[in-house]
């Protein structure tokens, strides 16, 4: 047995999927830290825990303000 979902519900679900994809794209374009922080590199054998860990220096989000400017739905311009 199948159920016909209301077209408005399907439309809103599609918009939600697109919004989540846009948000993931924005997060991928931003530096890893909101605040300016030094990066690190730790090997497992030198106190890194159970795995290696590495992050580059983060300029913070204030320097990445260009990423907030959208050049259209789903397209974020960084730089």
> What's 55's DSSP letter?
E
Residue 40: predicted pLDDT: 87
What is the pTM (predicted TM-score) of this model?
0.54
Residue 78: predicted pLDDT: 56
Residue 70: predicted pLDDT: 45
Give dist(CA 29, CA 9) in Å, integer.
30
Strand partners, 42: 53
18-41 pLDDT, tens digit per residue, is 999 999 998 888 888 888 899 988
Phi/psi at 10 (5° precision): -65, -40
More reliable by pLDDT, 59 or 2: 59
CB 36 within 8 A of CB 61: no
For residue 2, pLDDT over 90 is answered with: no
Residue 69: predicted pLDDT: 45
């Amino acid at each position: 047995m199948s159920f016909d979902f209301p077209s408005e519900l399907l439309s809103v679900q599609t918009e939600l999927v697109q919004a989540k994809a846009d948000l993931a794209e924005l997060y991928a374009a931003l530096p890893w830290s909101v605040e300016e922080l030094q990066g690190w590199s730790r090997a497992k054998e030198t106190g890194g825990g159970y795995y290696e860990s590495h992050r580059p220096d983060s300029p913070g989000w204030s320097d990445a303000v260009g990423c907030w400017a959208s050049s259209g739905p789903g397209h974020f311009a960084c730089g």
